[in-house]
Each structure stands twice: as C-alpha cells, then as structure tokens.
Amino acid sequence: MVDVYSPQAIWGRELRHYRQAVGLTQAQLAQKVHFSESLISGIETGQLPASPEFAQCCDEVLSTGGALQRLLDWRKGQVFPSWFGKWRDKEQVATALRTYQPLLIPGLLQTEAYARTVLRGNVEAVAARLDRRGILTREDPQPPIFRCVIDEAVLYRPIGTAEVMREQLDHLVAVVGPRLSVQVVPHGMHSGLLGGFVIATLEGGSDVLYAETAVRGITTSDVEDVAAAIERFEAIRTEALPLTMSPRTDQEDGGGEMDLNTARWRKSSFSGDNGGDCVEVAEVDGGPEHKSGRLIAVRDSKDPNGPALFFTPEEWKAFLLGVHAGEFEPTP
C-alpha cells in the first residue's frame, strides 16, 4: 500500500493537479510527453518515481513554470532510495536477520573502501551504509542475531584493488562471533541462484522479507512470500560449508577468541621437505557445540599468523582418507 503522504505520492498528486488544470487526460498527456500512459498513472498514484526528464517534459507541456522540476528537490535530501526506506526501518528494530547474498558482501558487513567502490564514490550513500552497521555494535538494545550465507564467488569477485579486497575479507573474518556467523556456499548449482534476500525477525516474532530485483528492492510481510524465503534460506544454508569451514575467529558458544599460539602444532605428514607447501595441524577446543569438544586446526607453517581452517575430527578423517585415495590429485 502506498503512503499517501510520502514525497513521491505528493509529487504525483501535483502532477495530476497540473494535468487536470489544462484539461488533459492521462492518455493525451502521454502522447505529448512521449511517456507511457501506465507510467503516468503509476506516478500520479505515488506507485512509481518520476525522473528529472519526465518532470521537465511535463513542465513544458503543462506550462507550470518549472514547478514540477523544483518539487523534485526533496530527493536531494534523501540518502536512501524511497523503496529502501521501509526496509531500513525494519532492519533497525530487528531482533534477528538472515541473509543470502550471491554477488556482493552484505551491506552491513562492508568496509568503507569496499562500499565506496560498490557505490561508485557517492559520499552520502557510503556514509549512510556505514551508519547502518551501527546495529551490529550497539549495546541497548543488543545487536540482532545475524546469520549470513554468501556464494563462494563473492570472495573472489574483485571489488576495487587487491588491498580493498584484503581489508574486506579480513573484516569479514574479524566480525564473526556468537551472534554473527558467515557461511559460504561452494561454487556450482545450488538453491541460491535466483537472487539475494534478507529476512528480518521483529519483536514478537513476525518476519519481514526484503528481496532484491534488477531495478529496486521489495519489502513485504506477505505470509506466503516470507514462508517461501525462509524455506529457501534454510535450503541454501544446508548446502553451505559448515561453520567450521567458513570464516570464523572464535568459539561460537564461548564468545572468546581462539588462542592458536598456545596450540601444539605439528607438521602434517603430507607436507614436503623440499620447500614446498608446509601444512601444520593442531587440536583445539571446539566448545560445547561439538560433541567431541575438539576441532582440528590447519594452517600454513610459513605463515603462522595467517588464517586457519577448522575441521571436526570426523571431517578431518574423511579428508585424510580422500588424500590417501588420491581424490585430490591434480588432473593432467
């Protein structure tokens, strides 16, 4: 339902006023300005935004003295597109957020440099996006639980320079914690190829969906749409790598950062002695979420301060069996 008091709807009523004042129907105005009748109808009812070109044509045909173009000045003070404002309001009060993104790092997790590249240097838009991130670090009320799933391609898509990507990926790992998780869906066919979306859970348990399209985002609380999105999110999440193989810096339930420096590292028997790849493994406390209470950490011995991968003992055993069976040998 259109907000009849939104600036966009008020602008549409002004267009209708000037059109009727000169005795033109929507069809007649469409012929004179060379825009479709359906577009004019949508603009007059506040359902569609008017472009500056459209306003200029209408000013000339309706002899308004440039009034319609001047009335578009309200947009200059608008940081977010009109269709995004409704979602931002929901996002700000959400108690939980679930998102799947196939193309870019989710906006709430973007660094300033990454966001600047995506938004093509729009200073106001970048500042607004960074301001949205405040919900993840607020103290009262507590931050929403944030569950993110991203396509693996997002990690390899070069947005800006190599330094921009390095900073963004480091940030992605650093923000993971008990209330924020990031999982990665491997390359290939999966349930998330139809597009990105976000589900906000509000106080009281109701859910709202934000779905992206080629031209704008859509916010809806339609029960069937929301249910379909939740079902799709869970399907995508089951196809994603486990949390132990996705970006992670701490124990999900423990909340403290893993101290890998005190772990007893040993060189894997699959590392070469000829200066090639050197892999180290260590057993670390996996927290109460794991039945065994242990995880296997794997890192490059030449870069002890670099990232580490984590496997459950079962996953590590399966990996070693695969190595023994030659499943990971390079193809000629």
Q: Which pair of structure tokens corresponds to residue 71?
A: 């009335």
7-77 falls under which CATH superfamily? lambda repressor-like DNA-binding domains (1.10.260.40)
* Long-range Cβ pairs for the range 227-231 (8 Å, 24+): 229/197, 229/199, 230/98, 230/199
Q: Which residue has the higher pLDDT, 277 or 214?
A: 214
Distance CA 88, CA 30 (A): 34
Nearest CA among 146, 120, 122 for reference residue 133: 146
Which of the given ranges, 111-120, 247-256, 257-266, 305-314, has the highest pLDDT on average?
A: 111-120
What's residue 245's pLDDT? 64
Domain range summary for the chain, segments of one domain joined by +: 7-77, 82-245, 260-324
pLDDT at residue 60 tops 70: yes
Burial, 264: exposed, middle or buried (Cβ in 10 Å; 0-12, 13-18, 19+)? Answer: exposed
Q: How many residues does the chain have?
A: 332
Q: Give residue 286's pLDDT.
A: 61
Domains 7-77 and 82-245 share a fold: no
**Pick among 1.10.10, 3.40.1090, 2.40.10, 3.30.870: CATH of 82-245:** 3.30.870
Q: State the chain's mean pLDDT as an integer.
A: 83
Residue 182 has pLDDT above 90, yes or no: yes
- The answer to whether the peptide bond before residue 141 is cis (omega within 30 degrees of 0) is yes
The three-class DSSP label of residue 296 is strand
- Would the pTM of this model clear 0.75, i.e. be above it? no
For residue 252, CA distances in Å to 148, 179, 180, 285 come to 14, 8, 9, 11
User: What integer is the mean pLDDT of 237-244?
Assistant: 83
H-assigned helices in 45-151? 52-62, 67-71, 82-93, 112-118, 123-132
